[in-house]
Amino acid sequence: MPPRTKQVVATPSTATTMKELKDTLWKAADKLRGSMDASQYKDVILGLVFLKYVSDAFAERRSAILAECVADGLNEDDAAPLLEDLDEYRRAGVFWVPPRSRWGYLAQHAKGRAATPDEPGASIGELVDDAMAHIMGSNPSLAATLPTIFNSNSVDQRRLGELVDLFSSARFTGEGVSKARDLLGEVYEYFLEKFARAEGKRGGEFFTPPSVVRVLVEVLEPYSGRVYDPACGSGGMFVQTEKFLERHGADPFAISVYGQELNERTWKLAKMNLAIHGLSGNLGARWNDTFARDLHADVQMDYVMSNPPFNIKDWARSTDDSRWKFGVPPAGNANYGWIQHILSKLAPGGSAGVVMANGSMSSNSGGEGDIRAQLVEADLVSCMVALPTQLFRSTGIPVCVWFFAKDKTSGNRGSIPRTGEVLFIDARNLGHMVDRAERALSDEDIAQIAGTYHAWRRTESARDAGLTYEDQAGFCYSATLAEIKDAGYALTPGRYVGAAEVEDDGEPIEDKIAGLTKDLFEQFDESSRLEQVVREQLGRVNG
């Protein structure tokens, strides 16, 4: 199914495209920053986006119910009971929004509510806080999720009202677009990314760059089953899974989402993100430490996708944990704790993709080399991908992706058994610079990585695309377990793929060296000449 195109009509003379609208909203939201710290500011803005979403989705469903009633011959008065029936909304996957939580009411009082004989006056912050509380009270799945900090001293009420006005004037239209979540979901993701960039290293705690997430999703192809992330951040793995299903015209209800997150604020961001994208995921009743308490201990997963925090030194480690089937991870680094937890969650035919620091591929400290050897000998490692640098603004640590498969025989969308083999992909030369500090992978880069893996497995998607696998010097190599053992169980792709072949231009090597030497000496001479010119000019100035 081709991607849906979107046209946006926003405030007059402000935005005519989706990008311009997102930029306009971000600039307006940024004015609200004031004296708030970054995390509180993020909660305020994303909470407001979420409130706009639930209200728009509610209004959309309300209009649909009324249209159905009119089609059945009812007038608006006769339809009134159905318009206030909670089940009519919940059945359609829409949150119930009480009257004073609806955006129209808030927009009407964007500058605050004046006092009347029946009720006291209230600032816009008070009204938004009340709206959030009433929505959580009416929708148990949102309990303890939404922020109620809009009336705090650090929130500029005038600017908050202006932002409500701006959100109110935005109108979204476009071919094939019928749900508010399609549009405000984009705004929410855009804001998440902007906040992650603004917060630098801390931003990496809740946000994984979409191009990195897409590598995992496109390789694993999670068409159906249980999808799990034990360190889910703001839920990016789940959102990209939904987008994958949408791109392929697959049933979005064929997956079940499970996740866990340690940070309270990040857990709330994930809950809102899933809700905006129409995903009813199980993230537990509250935030919790995956190592200390697995909230989904009895659930086996078909797919695990995760970008857990790298190299954690202080973590809830127990030496007698049943998850450590391949060896107890060292106390000073949780990397192999995450890997073994993820493997313990996989169903018999399950597969996983895990983003890790590059050191995990070759480290021998604390017994990690022995654990890695056992993982290889158990034939659980399916593919190793070395990614380019600077994909994460939050860290300069080079990263890789480990792919695991509980069963590398034929089946599970693959037709060639790959038992006893591991595919190595060196993708360090892919990607393009977004700015001076950050790199991103293009659609073509992601397709090259995923296509290579699927060609190696000869999956259905590879057959449909006519892809076949061959080792490619400098990029990919299919190694046997014996070769990996000979390399000391190091899993760094560069050890196996070798150097890319250089095209022979027919010039003898001796002539090339002579030519380069001549050029070098000419540059030395030019450098000396320029140095003399600079000295003469300086002498004139000083004289």
CATH number where 111 lies: 1.20.1260.30
Does 342 share its domain with 264?
A: yes
- Going 323 to 361 to 402 to 348, the CA torsion angle's sign is negative
DSSP-based three-state secondary structure for 244:
helix
Of the pLDDT bands very low, low, confident and very high (cuts 50, 70, 90), residue 354 is: very high
- 522, pLDDT greater than 90: no
DSSP assignments along 379-404, one per residue: T-EEEEEEPPTTS-TT----EEEEEE
Structural domain ending residue among the three candidates 195, 227, 252 = 195
DSSP assignments along 141-206, one per residue: GGTTTS---TTSTTS-HHHHHHHHHHHHH-EEE-TT---HHHHHHHHHHHHHHHHHHHHGGGGGGT
What is residue 507's predicted lDDT score, i.e. its pLDDT?
A: 67
Question: Which residue in the block uniquely carries the two structure tokens 């129409």?
Answer: 278
Does 527 share its domain with 389?
A: no
What is residue 169's predicted lDDT score, i.e. its pLDDT?
A: 74
Residue 502 lies in a domain: no
Among 171-185, 213-227, 347-361, which stretch is predicted with the lowest mean pLDDT?
A: 171-185
Does 408 share its domain with 259?
A: yes
Of the pLDDT bands very low, low, confident and very high (cuts 50, 70, 90), residue 318 is: very high
Residue 200 lies in a domain: no
Burial 474-506 (b: 16+ CB within 10 A, else e): ebbbbbebeebeeeebbbbbebbbeeeeeeeee
Distance (Å, whole) CA 388 – CA 429 = 6
Beta strands in 317-420 (DSSP E): 346-357, 381-386, 399-405
Residue 444 lies in a domain: yes
DSSP-based three-state secondary structure for 113:
strand
**Average of pLDDT values for 40-65?**
89
Residue 504 lies in a domain: no
Structural domain ending residue among the three candidates 142, 165, 195 = 195
Does 124 share its domain with 217?
A: no
Distance (Å, whole) CA 164 – CA 49 = 10
Distance (Å, whole) CA 129 – CA 360 = 45
Distance (Å, whole) CA 120 – CA 33 = 28
Question: Which whole-number Å values give the CA distances from 184 to 37, 82, 127, 189, 498, in the listed order?
Answer: 24, 27, 21, 9, 46
Task: Record the tokens describing residue 209, joined without a space.
Answer: 């760059």
- 200, pLDDT greater than 70: no
Reported as a single tens digit per residue, the pLDDT across 261-304 is 999 989 999 999 998 888 889 999 999 999 999 999 999 999 99
What is residue 527's predicted lDDT score, i.e. its pLDDT?
A: 81
- 411, pLDDT greater than 80: no
What is residue 471's predicted lDDT score, i.e. its pLDDT?
A: 97
Instruction: Find the radius of gyration of the CA atoms of the chain.
Output: 28
Does 187 share its domain with 251?
A: no
Does 448 share its domain with 424?
A: yes
What percent of the chain is modeled with pLDDT above 90?
58
**Average of pLDDT values for 79-107?**
91
Does 305 share its domain with 454?
A: yes
Residue 280 lies in a domain: yes
Distance (Å, whole) CA 372 – CA 366 = 12
Residue 51 lies in a domain: yes
Does 225 share its domain with 311?
A: yes
Residue 315 lies in a domain: yes
- Going 430 to 434 to 436 to 437, the CA torsion angle's sign is negative
Does 141 share its domain with 229?
A: no
**Average of pLDDT values for 6-32?**
63
What is the separation, in whole angstroms, between the first and last Cα of the chain? 75
What is residue 2's predicted lDDT score, i.e. its pLDDT?
A: 36
Of the pLDDT bands very low, low, confident and very high (cuts 50, 70, 90), residue 192 is: confident
Residue 369: which residues within 8 A CB-CB, separation 6 or more?
Answer: 363, 488, 489
Distance (Å, whole) CA 258 – CA 283 = 6
**Average of pLDDT values for 327-348?**
97
Residue 392 lies in a domain: yes
- As to burial, measured by CB atoms within 10 angstroms (0-12 exposed, 13-18 middle, 19+ buried), residue 93 is middle
**Average of pLDDT values for 188-198?**
83
What is residue 170's predicted lDDT score, i.e. its pLDDT?
A: 64
DSSP category for residue 122: B
Query: What is the overall mean pLDDT for the chain?
Result: 87
What domain range includes position 527?
A: 509-537
Does 344 share its domain with 383?
A: yes
Residue 471: CATH number of its domain: 3.40.50.150
What is residue 277's predicted lDDT score, i.e. its pLDDT?
A: 85
Does 187 share its domain with 261?
A: no
Does 351 share its domain with 407?
A: yes
Of the pLDDT bands very low, low, confident and very high (cuts 50, 70, 90), residue 368 is: very high
- 539, pLDDT greater than 90: no
Q: How many domains does the chain have?
A: 3
- 342, pLDDT greater than 90: yes
